[in-house]
Amino acid sequence: DTGVSQDPRHKITKRGQNVTFRCDPISEHNRLYWYRQTLGQGPEFLTYFQNEAQLEKSRLLSDRFSAERPKGSFSTLEIQRTEQGDSAMYLCASSHPGQGYGNEQFFGPGTRLTVL
């Protein structure tokens, strides 16, 4: 088991461009979460999936953000028409209620987005 992986690790883009991030959860973890973290703050919930179903999306997210988890495996997070305020670390986490301690979330290394 190699843990949660995210790609790319760093992304620099110009304002107005679209970006897409990928998250590969731990194998067989049926829950997948996306968070955003800015410097000096805790992770902020964006959205989460149970298998392929997106159960909730934060009201803080604009329509420029979309996430998918086809076939309940990897997930992608797309940001359209990026703004400088989107600059942050985007973290992915996965969990399986029937394993380990229950709902503990295993985080990936994150994708650091810088919008110029």
Partner 1 sequence: QQPVQSPQAVILREGEDAVINCSSSKALYSVHWYRQKHGEAPVFLMILLKGGEQKGHEKISASFNEKKQQSSLYLTASQLSYSGTYFCGTEIGAGGTSYGKLTFGQGTILTVHP
Judge contact between 54 and 47, C-beta under 8 A. yes
Interface with partner 1 includes 91 (CB under 8 A)? Answer: yes
Residue number with CB closer to partner 1 (19 or 33): 33
Q: What tokens were used for 76? A: 């992608």
Residue 19 pairs in a beta bridge with 79
Q: Determine the Cα–Cα distance for residues 62 and 79; give it in Å rounded to an integer.
A: 9
CB of 29 to partner 1, least distance (A): 11
CB of 9 to partner 1, least distance (A): 11
Site string for partner 1, 55-74 (x = CB under 8 A): xx------------------
Interface with partner 1 includes 43 (CB under 8 A)? Answer: yes
With CB under 8 A as the contact rule, which of the stretches 17-25, 60-68, 72-80, 103-111 interacts with partner 1? 103-111
**What count of Cα atoms within 13 Å lies in the side-chain half-sphere of residue 97?**
3
Q: Determine the Cα–Cα distance for residues 62 and 1; give it in Å rounded to an integer.
A: 34
Interface with partner 1 includes 107 (CB under 8 A)? Answer: yes
